[in-house]
Structure 1
Amino acid sequence: MDALPEFQTTSHVGPNGRVVKEYYVKGLHMSLDDVKKKHRNQYTDKDVVQPGGEATNYSTQVPHYPRPVEFRVTTVAHVTVEKGLHGIMGNDGFQIGESGLLWWGLVIGEKEISAAEQRYVEKLFPDRNPEDQEPFLQKFATSPVFKDGSRYGNFKFTFSLADVLLKYSTQFCGGKDPVFRVYKTAVYSQEVMYTLLIHSPDVHDYDVYPELVNNDEAVCAYRDGEIIWRAQAISETHKFKLVENREEKLVRAEQSLNVFYVWDHVTLAFHIPKDETLSIPHEELVEALTSCDENYPPVNGPLMGKSDAEERVQKYKNLENRETSNMEF
């Protein structure tokens, strides 16, 4: 087995004047257990209690929780600040930011959580009686991934992944399927981010990154319009422990003390040529646009309240059939 690579480090000054450090490994989606072998901090330096065990020291241990949990996601969202909102609406589409890539996050709601819960218990107890099992996964799904708000802005554009891929394929790939690659694993204090890179097959700037494979061991995969994410840490703050009753073939969430641990998530990074736009009809942008609360800590500087954001959204929705490039707010 190849030795695990060492993390590289980069840093930048955040919107609040704080230095944000990123520890990253390129071309690999490193499992959380492997991340902890190479990068230890106050959050990663904890061990998860095995099934049936009890945490005796909450400064070094995390109560047993469901992992991995397989989510199958068909919806994605791009979140931005007010300046980005006006740019997207004025350009009728999305252009690249400073990173040179267009970033999207996964949208996971109650339907996806319920389906993931069923898969989790089915794998644990294949011959169980599904009617006896009470819901439990929602109590663990508390990381920013599962919240309506965002740390990236107050304005959210939500689309089906299939629709975004079709538009991308048509506009940048000559109708061919785009290429999915394993871009990087990044660690920011309490957050572990896995990034998928998506680009045209005619672009070879990223050939050094391995293509995404669809197997049961991968942290994430793509298949038939779905991102398959095998989440390893779904709670920002652990307030419950998972109890497995093997005699009755049931699991339940039992109240526990608050324990801080890492949480992980998946992002999609689309390569867009400089000065070009992933074009989307204006009426589709308006339909996809919603306001959202600020999640702490904000990544893109101080954000406005949701009520103010909703006012801006409603102005676009009320003026759906008019030109927006010269609108004043």
Structure 2
Amino acid sequence: MSYIQRMEEEQQLQQTKRNRDKRSSRRMKSMVIIALVLSSASLVMSAFAANNIWHGNSASHGSAVAVTPKFAGSAEPESLTEDKAPLTSTESAEAKDQPQVNANDADTTQSPPPANPKEGKEEKTGAKTEKKTAQKVIYLTFDDGPGKYTDQIVSILNKNGIHGTFFMIGNQVSGNEKAIKTAAENGNYIGLHSMTHDKKKLYRSSGSARFIKEFKQEQEIIQKITGTTPWLIRAPYGSKPEINNKFLNDIAAAKFKMWDWTVDSKDWNYPGKPERIIQEIKRQVHRDTEVILMHEKSQTVQALPGIIKYLKKKGYSFAVYKPDQHFPVNFAKDERL
């Protein structure tokens, strides 16, 4: 083979190789273009699917529903980048059906005080500690009835939609049975204040026997009138200093509960001066739970509307003694009583 023939053959082989390389290059370009097209299509479909999920579409729904979030007042909407999954259309529908609560529609009915009121309660909810504002409660109590002022006091309480706790003297019941029954029927509690209210007979005789006997006797009398058996007593002149530890043991053994008071209105000392009674109560009231000592007196009847008005203004609610909600209020701080 001549030199010229070899050169022509080599040139032909090189041309064939170049053609093959061109075809390979075109094939690679085509594959790249196809890959790019497929990638773009995938991105478009992913975006479309994400859009459908965001707007709450599901395969079972025939048409898309656009949901526009609404925010109350001028508050800023929560960031959409937080770890909160968007609502599905089903969840959105369920949320829409939930009743909307207006702060002005909240139930303001006050619950009865606990069996043993405590000030400044704290309640833990998960990791958050919430401090509850203690409910402010007043117990209005009236000693030394029944008498000519019993009905007037009950009438004032009724007009204000509240109740009181009455500690009555057994020897004064006769002739006043109707007033006692009316007071009880109107939601007031009738407690015991001994038969005689006589300090010498109750405290200066031998031991507690006379004291216990008088309260048991009065208990039977009140039970016949009201149909309920009262166990709450108030010792005449208060339990201190006359009642010692042995005396307290005897009262507890007889199953009586005994209330003294936290506020002394001193109304007995202000005849014709109702404003002084109101001032006395204003001076002493400061606890979340107060038991106010008053008496069935003319000046007390005059002062009572003003007392109630002042206490309401101070944010107090009014409660009546209930045996199933008993808590101790005695000067000895005896938990049994």
Please identify which structure carries the higher strand content.
1
Query: Larger relative CO (CA 8 A, sep 6+): 1 or 2?
Result: 1
Please identify which structure carries the higher helix content.
2
**Which TM-score band applies after superposition, normalised by the shorter structure?**
under 0.3
Looking at CA atoms only, which structure, 1 or 2, has the larger radius of gyration?
2
TM-score where L is the length of structure 2:
0.21
